[in-house]
Amino acid sequence: MAATTIPGTNVDIRLWANPEQVEGSALRQLHNIAALPWTYKHVAVMPDVHYGIGATVGSVIAMRGAVSPAAVGVDIGCGMTAVRTSLTAEDLPASLAPLRTQIEAAVPVGRAAHRSAAFTERDAGDWDRFWAAFDDLNRRVRRDRGKAVNQIGTLGGGNHFIEICLDESGQVWVMLHSGSRGVGNVLALHHIEVARGLAHNQSLPDPDLAVFIAGTPQMAAYRHDLYWAQDYARRNRAVMLRLISDVLRRSFHGVEFDEPISVHHNYVAEETHFGEEVLVTRKGAIRAGAGDLGIIPGSMGTGSYIVRGLGNPDSFESASHGAGRRMSRTKARKEFTAEDLANQTAGVECRKDTGVVDEIPAAYKDIDEVIRAQDDLVEVVAKLKQVVCVKG
């Protein structure tokens, strides 16, 4: 699908979505982003686009000499990890409830945390350097070091999940979605607040789009905390994957695992596009450079895709991060019941209670349509369907 171009004040907006199907509030946000003097070339908008705080979810924003913390979001480094196993559908037991219980026992979900540090050198290297940098983070998080330590290897709540999936050939995959947990949230909110108070941001159309400018102490402080939180999120997913893999090793003797695929979809990267070095913010988008493997999940009852990037320069080499919500959590809770959730997740071993009804598949866009809308951004490597889904 070719992108649709909408003229903006400073730069244009390029949408891999039908403009008529994008909510008005999200379009207004996109016009606000396109009006910023630091925004470079154009705003790239993914087919899963929907309203967010400050910047839309599903937007890719390149800036010269500036970055907006709200364009990253409050879950810095949120992303996906997936790995194909040597198991097949025939290896799985008739009832998957015990497997879900074992995963939930190994990986704390919701607000829960480990009782002590769960990470090891098996998960990621150089933990000493990583934790030494914690002492240089903003003071608002330094008093919560113990919490940050014990939340490494935990899922969280909301749209975060752990899944056991089958691809179309019957191969078993492990997939998970999580970010930088409480420490990333506190850091993000602090820096958004700081940016809003800076003099150069006082006349913006939306105060949540406040930016930091290159060469300032505020920018240096944000980038230090940002990159640490992105690393925290990556390590968090690595620990969870190892914990889940250990569950499978205990249950299935001799199981083997391929090299994991891991991607951020709320983050900042220093990249070169159209011949210029820029700061690229992807909020609800993955990098899809030529040959890059990526993960685009659907909802808890529909399935997901493993994709390979095509390196489309017009999207700043990006693709969508998922199906994208088509209704708010509040509206979903009002419109659907636990019975609706049970019907829409038939065949999936998962929670089917009112506590997760806002994650019902009908609250999300059609993942197959979202994939078709970006066939010039990615090619499909595998389609997965979950058989177990763990949520907080």
Residues annotated as catalytic are 321
DSSP letter for 265, please. S
Within 8 A by CB and 6+ apart from 226, the residues are 69, 72, 76, 187, 191, 268
Backbone angles phi, psi at 387, to 5 degrees: -115, -20
What b/e sequence results for 340-372 when a residue is b if at least 16 CB atoms lie within 10 Å of its CB, and e otherwise? bbbebbeebbbbbeeebbbbbbbbbbbbeebbe
Question: By C-alpha distance, which of 218, 279, 225, 211 is closest to 55?
Answer: 211
CA distance linking residue 339 with residue 360, whole number of Å = 11
- Residue 271: name the closest of 45, 64, 39, 11 by CA: 64
Task: Supply angle C-alpha 339, 340, 343, rounded to 5.
Answer: 85
Counting runs of H as helices and runs of E as strands, what totals does the chain give? 10, 17
Q: Residue holding tokens 């489309």? A: 312
Give the Cα separation of 17 and 19 in Å (integer).
6
Q: Are 164 and 384 in contact (CB under 8 A)?
A: no
Residue (of 242, 377, 180) closest to 296 by Cα position: 377
